[in-house]
Structure 1
Amino acid sequence: MSSDNLHTRVEALLAFVRKLRGELLNVTAPTTRLRRETVHAVEEYTSHIPFFKHSLPVPYSHQFDDEGVNLWNTSARLSLSQGDPTLLKQLSNVKVLAFGMLEAARRTEASETLKVIEVALSTAEDCIENGILNTSQQIIEIVAMKLDALKSSAYLDHGRMQSLEIQYYMIRIHLAWYQRRPDIADHLYSQLPRTTQQGDQFTIMEMTYKIGGLALSSNQHDTAVKWSERSLSACEAWTDDGQEFGQPSDQKMLILHQYERSSAAMKKALGSRPKQLWALSSPRALLEGMNELLIERLLPSCNKELTETAVVSFIWSLTVSEDCPTSALDILDESMKVLDSAGIGTISETATEACLLAIWKHVDREILRENYLVAGNWCHFVLGHGIFLPTSDTKEKFMRLPDGSKNSPPILYLMYKLATQDNQSSKGTVYLNTLFNQVEGGCSYLVACTFDALKHGDIRLAAKCLGMTTKKYYDCRSGGCEVAKLLQYLLCFLTERLDSLQGNESLLTQTLSTLKTVQGDCAGQNTLLSHLEPSFIADKAYSIALKALKSSQLDLVVRFLDLSIQFTETMQQAEGQDDRSGLCKRYLTYDALRATAIIASARKERDQSKQQHLYTRALQSTHRFRNNFQNLQNHCAAEIEAAWVHKYRIILSLDFEAAIFLHHWESSAQVVQESAAAINEKLAAIFLDYPLLPRYLHILFHLAITAPDDILAELVLDQALSLARGGKDPLSTRYPDDEINWLASVAFNRAVDFYLVSTDEDCHRWAQKAIELADCIDDEVSRGMLGRLLREKYTKLT
């Protein structure tokens, strides 16, 4: 924002605030309200808090601070004398404007920031009382940021800081209640900082009492009881420390009165419910009514004793009947899931025994009827919910199941689950294999086996289960969404925790097998890939490859990268030509690591035939990388990022290494020619590490001699001179005379160029090197002729 624009906005806002304060001073009669234009202007300003992104200049900062304080005090005094709801709402917006002025002043002292927070909290509460909830939410968010910033400061008044945090939480709770989110209000209450200050206890007591009264007035009697109990607890803590804020006995009397009214109303409501339930003629309606009583009435009350009684009654009412409806267990299971998610914990030992007594009677009855599936499902119910305390009798009951029932999928899953809970992996594997070999009905239970293994942290067993589940899926074509979710979880787990797993090779091999199963069946309609993103699997496989690379598992690295490339090809077929640059970058990333890993393996290999095979595989990735790099250059309007150019140089060096090993001389020459646009000193040094390549030096010298800088060309010339001298050794390969002839001639011509521009030192150095090269020619016919000729020409120059 320009300084002129800022000055204009600031002056306009200050002028409006002064005019507004004058108008407020004229509001005297109870029926007097602010003018409509003023109200609209205030609402417009308050919709843009904070007013400015950056701090104001010091003179303006002081003015905003003074005007904000005066405006807030004026509106606060006026609020005390008014009873008109419309005017009170208008004054709340004025307070918001005043807070915005103070916030814009942005005084840096911690004490001043605390004052602004106090004003903000009071303003937010005032907005809640007058129904301006969105503005209150906005102010609370600003307070949260300021409190976080203060925690890192050196301000030492921790007591005041804690009091403000308590007020912040209570106002958020109040707002959540008006937003019809009692769950958020309960959560925020559980996050309240612990405090022993009497002022904080008074704040908690006052707000919880207020919410209890609101719940009671809206006939939410169980919620009213809960918040009244909280208010009573805070009142008792407050009365232990003094009476500064009022008469504790009066406050406690009010809270107790509200609590008694709420309790009486709840008991009355619950007292009529059983009669209503038993009067129902439909068994399912009876079950649903009991479920409603348990979940919607008792659970929110947080009365565990009453909830336990209802759970026992619910289970007994389902199991004592000779003709228990088939839907009964489904309804009960859903109810227990709600209790589990609510964090109610385990029920008492007495309640557990009462529930299990009814359940085991029912299981025995179903076994006698040979209804093994129903008996197994009830056993699953006991195992599957954490509200029941584990007992020694439970396992004995499961073992009493007849052998004839143990071939059914639910019973096999039950036995598998017991084995995993006892850490008996071998026995669990037996049940798992039997379950996998079931002709029908095994897929959903294999999914459950995988979940159980993950739940108990046995990632290897989970991978094995998932492999079986994936293969089973393609037989039954069901449960694809669940299998896909499990596969996603397993891949995420491996990318995050692979480093901490010992002996992970078998785990990675199992995961590879599962992914290949998924990839190998991507042509049909009802495939796992219809529930998965190929890009997700490709990325995760690449991440796992990176992890495996750290532990030198190079073969696994390459296999995972092959999968990444295959899934990217699947993605390319789906997306077509929409994102060519994105696909190119994926291929570049995967092929760069693949080529690096394969060549690292080739360097360690001592068997030449295996080495040749590895270098041939590496060329697949380097060639694909080079092609995709060219495609990326063609599709990118802007210049390619330096990171890709860096990887391109590495790939060129690896491609060159593979080509030299395989004696692909034409390919090595092409690599050198292609590198002209991206060559640097490091890449040149890598190229120069291959000593017996005269043709390559010929090409490189030809490229370097045209460059503006002669350093690289002279390095190539020195390398060639060193090799030519070494060629006189009978044990070494002789440098070709025609190459020496060409290099010496070109080098001497460059010396002449230096002479023409009067660079005598460079001229002398290049001429001497050219003559030395010429003297290395070993042909019996022309031996020494070129050297003598160059000396004569150099003598004429000097």
Structure 2
Amino acid sequence: MATSKLMKKDLADPRVQAVLDCANTARTILQDRSTLPTALFAQIESYVKQSLPHLKSAAIADKCRDFDLVGIDLWNYSAHLLHEDGPRDPRIKVVNEVHSGVVTRVFALLLLAAAHAVSSRHNTDDPGQKIRIMKVALRASRLCLDREELELASISLQRCSDFIPVESAEDVPLIRIANNHTKDQECSHDDFGALVNEYYLLRLLHSWKSDRLDLADHFYSKISQRADCAEADMTVKQADLMYEVARSLAKTGQSDIAVKWFERAIATLDRCDAQSVTQDVEELRLCTGVAFVELLVSDERDVSHQRAWEILEQLEATHGLYNRVAVQATRFRILAAQRQIDEELILQSLLRIVKMTVLTESSFKTAMKVLRQASKVASSSSLTALAELIHTRLLPELRDTHEKDSTIQCWLEKATVAYILCAKSPASTPQEISVVGIRELLDRIKSEIPALCFTGKATHAAQTLIWQAATGPNTGEWLHLLRHPVFDNAGHLNRARVGRKLMRHAMDHEDFSAAREAFFQMPKSTQDESITRYLAFKLALQSQDDELAMDSLKVVARKAGNDPTYLYACVIEAQKSSMRHMGVAALQAIVGKRPQGVNLTALLRCTARLLMTELDEPGQNLDEVALQVIEIFENAFRSVDELRKLSKDSWRTEVQWWSKNAYNLGVRLCTDIRPESTVRLLETCTSFMDNCPMEDAADLESDIENRRMLCAYLATTALVALGRSGSEDDEYTLQGYLHAQKHIKTFKQLHAKLRRTMHGDTAMQHEQRHFSVLKFELECILRLRQWHNLEVALQACLNSNIDEHWDTLADIVIIIHDQLDTHSLGSETDTLIRDVLQRAVDHCWKAQYDIVKIARWLRFAFTLCLDHIQDDFSYKLLLQAATIAEKARSPDQPSQDLYPDAELQWLATTGFNHAVDLIAVENHTEATKWMEGALELARWVMDEGALHALFTEKRRLADERAANTRG
């Protein structure tokens, strides 16, 4: 048995010694005010949370004194860790010093508690040691809770609980004391009872911070059962803790639970002996009551509001609290939360606050906060109370001071600004009443203290509010308030803004005399500011004052070195007025002078706008105005290098503006101005579009290419029209056709690129334009005699899928064929011309075009094919003519659509003669076919069958002659 005990002791000794060695090492380090190494701290933390609390007392019996001494030293030496603020070498990795201090103190507590557990077995009658360890444990618990170390706090509180005796269900004393106790023992008993009370408070605090409100309720019941908890100091601690719990719950939205803890806080304060009530108790009662009322009034239930009134009545009944501003502010909050607002009661409450407020910084802020809140529910009452504060408290106080009191003046300014803010708010009285009230308030301030002027900061705030209120029918009256003498400290910028605002208001109401008065009342320096002179220029335009307009424009131009914005604005205003000549003249002068910093392209843009407006004026010579506009656009394009210096976005915007306006003008004026002008305008537009940046603008590229294609089409049309108007061999005319070919090439390239992306009506429209351009190309080839390009152009026409307007193409092809010489006419060209004519005949016949033209084209194609011995195609044309003539004779066709007799006779005769030629070469098969075709065509000649009879007789003779020859 002895051997077994010895073996257990040997097993326990290493653990105890390890703990003691760790503690001694930490003591040595902390004694030098050094920081615990990370490894050592981890070992201490492990002992605190795992090993040390579970060591048996018997294992450390021999080390009891060592544990006690090292625990005391660790507790004392760890103090510097809790307040360590000195710099440390960032290269050394250390633990958080405050956290390590907390852990070290808990470690010290556990060492002391372990030592006490062993020593108490030998000295059970020493209450001093118990109180000593209890105090250390409570201090450690308080430290852990203050540092939010809840796990460590739980360990410390567990050590405290070891000293708390188990109580019965009845309310019995904590420790039963025999009748022969000494006086010292009674004192120890009282001290221990206070420690027990503090233990339960810390338990409650720990439960709250751990979100264990059920445990908090349990420990609250423990506290409420103790008779010695009614002392003043303990009551304040209890009530303060419950107040903090309630307030935190209210912030997190747990209103019902917060109400319970507020009630507990108030009940705890009510248990205080009236004779022991201190100032701290009253302040805590006030804070608790105010916070409780705020929570209750946020609840819309009547029972909550009723309870709020009860709390308020309790506060007012408490000695020394009735005259507190916070109590009256609480009364206001209850009144403001009622369903039916009683403005009279609110006014009484506000006036009471104004009357009893002691003029200190904090009380003034409290009063102003309440008055500002009142403006949201009872604006008229708030205005009355603010005026009362200014008239009865602040002005007399400021007037009676022999020296200028900046603090009181600051309060006066804040109250005045608050009055203006309340007066201008939508919930306040009508604006005409607000303006009068503000004016009377400012007049009274100035009359009672004539030398008083608001500081620059207050002036700016007040004028800003008045400025914002200057809308509606009373704008003028609000604006005149801005010039009140109390605002004489307004800065130069504010004075200028006020003057310009008055000018704008007068001009908006066409009160030009008032606007001139506001302008000439400004200082000279303000008058000569660009924005002021811009307004003066605008005023001059409206009042038809040429002299003022010119003077103002000169000043604006002179000051436009850094920012020509107002100069451009003057041009725009002139453009919108009836005095446009003023804008044009000014722009021309500015362009001539080119003052430093002025952007020439921007000036040209303004001029372009003005001139484009002139195009809309009735009676204008469009050609002359258009030439001026074109010159402006060409000048702008010559400045394109200057435009490239702008930012990317500005460069894109500028180029798009010029290209779009040139495009719109070209489309709009192409039929009204000379072709040369149209071409110049469209080419300028194309030049701008060629320079338009396409980065980050993929959606813009397609639009620009479509516009470029239309510009090329319109320019081609204008150049061809110009060429047609001249003589055939005129050099200027030929240059026009050469110029047109450049635009034709551009159009064809863009059309080939975009045709696949077009659909519906848009695609058809572009195809029609493309077909027109192809005809223009043939016309250019004809006039320039560029026969080497003819085959490609004809093939392009045949590739077109357009079914309309082939009549003009056929006419052009016929003229081209007449102009071709034998060296230029090849078989391929001849075939293409034939195909074009055949296509024209087919499309025009289907579309019921003029049959005379169809007959002429068919005759020309027939002759062309017959001359080149293309018998098969010629024969088909002969039959096609017969078919057309037959359908033209149908009853549903009008008489004017009959195939011309002369054309029929010529075709029939030519076809029959060709058959005779075939007989001569002994091609009887083809001859028979041609004779039958000629006879079929002769049937429809309107000669009563004479031609058909003639051909029949001649055919008989030809057949007989052929038979005799064969016989």
Using structure 2 for the length normalisation, give the TM-score.
Answer: 0.40
Q: Which has the higher contact order (CA 8 A, sep 6+)?
A: 1
State the structure with more CA Rg: 2
Using structure 1 for the length normalisation, give the TM-score.
Answer: 0.47
